[in-house]
Amino acid sequence: MIELSGLTKRYGDKVAVNNLSFTVRPGIVTGFLGPNGAGKSTTMRMILGLDHPTAGDVRIDGRHYEQLKDPLTAIGALLEAKAWHGGRSARNHLLCLAQSNGIADSRVREVLETVGLTAVARKKTKGFSMGMGQRLGIAAALLGDPRILMFDEPVNGLDPEGIHWIRNLMKSLAGQGRTVFVSSHLMSEMALTAEHLVVIGQGRLLADTSMADFIARNSRSYVRVRTPQRERMRDVLHTAGITAVEAGGGALEVDGGKPERIGELAAQHQIVLHELSSQQASLEEAFMGLTAESVEYHAQAGPAPGPAPGQAPGPAPGQAWGDGWRKG
Ligand SMILES: Nc1ncnc2c1ncn2[C@@H]1O[C@H](COP(=O)(O)OP(=O)(O)OP(=O)(O)O)[C@@H](O)[C@H]1O
Ligand SMILES: [Mg+2]
């Protein structure tokens, strides 16, 4: 279990993490979400004692990181930056870590096998691809067989196979009763991985809720209707107790009605339909709505690197904040 209470970090007059209080529980994957610069990595560094809080407190199973004996056996972490010497082999890097934490050498072979690096175990890590580097970082996190695991943007730079592998690994670690805390700035990725969500923006807590609750609250479904007899269609729906609002492109957005029912009502009243389609607002849109106020990095007006004319003023669904977006 990881417990944060009033955790705060200032860099000069910049408040990177602002009074965060939440608990990360065992047995489930908890997603830690927020736009670029929200304070995710800073929070994770404070959990690991790599940064000192300006105020507040964070505990790992009731203790501060510095109080843990053989910390790798309590909490394993993959942080953003590569934290190893390029001249060492993957195996030697892990052996050094194992020896300084009282972990048996045989465990190195096991974790190399788990992350699929056995074949390159004796190669120098400076030649590793980004995906291999991520796998080595994960091997280090798993080395002490810790009850708590923390991953900062683990799927960055991975190919689809790697992303799939990490997703399943995190779920199986949580399934073994471990605490799994993973950051991302992609809602779409978290929707497939996490059972619980902690969302922050500009260092502040915006949501601490189950994924099921987030989906139930935020993924609105509606029916889109286009008809040359719009006013009449609205009246017919209104009489049937169904609400319709004007949407773009001369369409109606209908809440609380199935397309079958709407189509039948239109037929009964001889209303011509040009479109009748079920729509679902994506979680990515819901997440962007939630964090919109606190996004630090906005697209610039003008052609590059902002959106092309006619494109939405933000990253496309599935695209990361920061991919071609710079501080506004
Ligand atoms: N060492 C530092 N000195 C000064 N400011 C810092 C330092 N580390 C982080 N910050 C600032 O604190 C804020 C939070 O940064 P942090 O890296 O924690 O965000 P993040 O949520 O991890 O973002 P990303 O999604 O881009 O990784 C940012 O505004 C950043 O510029
Ligand atoms: Mg970060």
The CB of 185 under 6 Å from ligand 1? The reply is yes
pLDDT of residue 214: 83
User: Which is nearest to 138 in space by CA: 157, 115, 159, 158?
Assistant: 115
Q: Which domains does the chain have, with CATH numbers?
A: 2-217 (3.40.50.300), 220-285 (3.30.70)
Percent of the chain with pLDDT over 90: 62
pLDDT of residue 83: 63
The predicted model scores a pTM of: 0.78
The CB of 40 under 6 Å from ligand 1? The reply is yes
| Nearest atom of ligand 1 to the alpha carbon of 40 | 21
The residue whose CA is least distant from atom 28 of ligand 1 is 37
The residue whose CA is least distant from atom 24 of ligand 1 is 36
| Nearest atom of ligand 1 to the alpha carbon of 43 | 18
pLDDT of residue 288: 79
Long-range contacts of the stretch 16-19 (C-beta < 8 A, 24+): 16/42, 16/203, 17/42, 17/43, 17/46, 17/53, 17/203, 18/202, 18/203, 18/204, 19/55, 19/56, 19/204, 19/205
Minimum-distance ligand to the CA of 40? 1
**By the 8 A CB rule, do 16 and 44 touch?**
no
The CB of 202 under 6 Å from ligand 1? The reply is no
Amino acid symbol at 133 = G
Q: How far is the CA of 59 from the centre of ligand 1 (A)?
A: 21
Q: Which residues surround ligand 2, an ion (CB under 5 A)?
A: 40-41
pLDDT of residue 237: 94
| Nearest atom of ligand 1 to the alpha carbon of 296 | 29
Tokens 């969302």 label which residue?
199
Minimum-distance ligand to the CA of 33? 1
Residues of the chain with pLDDT under 70: 81-84, 294-328
**By the 8 A CB rule, do 171 and 125 touch?**
no
Q: What is the pLDDT of residues 281-303, one digit of tens each?
A: 777 777 877 777 766 655 554 44
pLDDT of residue 298: 58
The rounded Cα 310 to chain-centroid distance in angstroms is 28
| Nearest atom of ligand 1 to the alpha carbon of 9 | 12
Q: How far is the CA of 210 from the centre of ligand 2 (A)?
A: 22
Q: Count CA atoms closer than 13 A to 294's CA, side-chain side.
A: 22
Which of 7, 9, 11 best tests ligand 1's pocket when mutated (most atoms within 8 Å of CB)? Answer: 11
Burial of 122 (0-12, 13-18, 19+ CB in 10 A): exposed
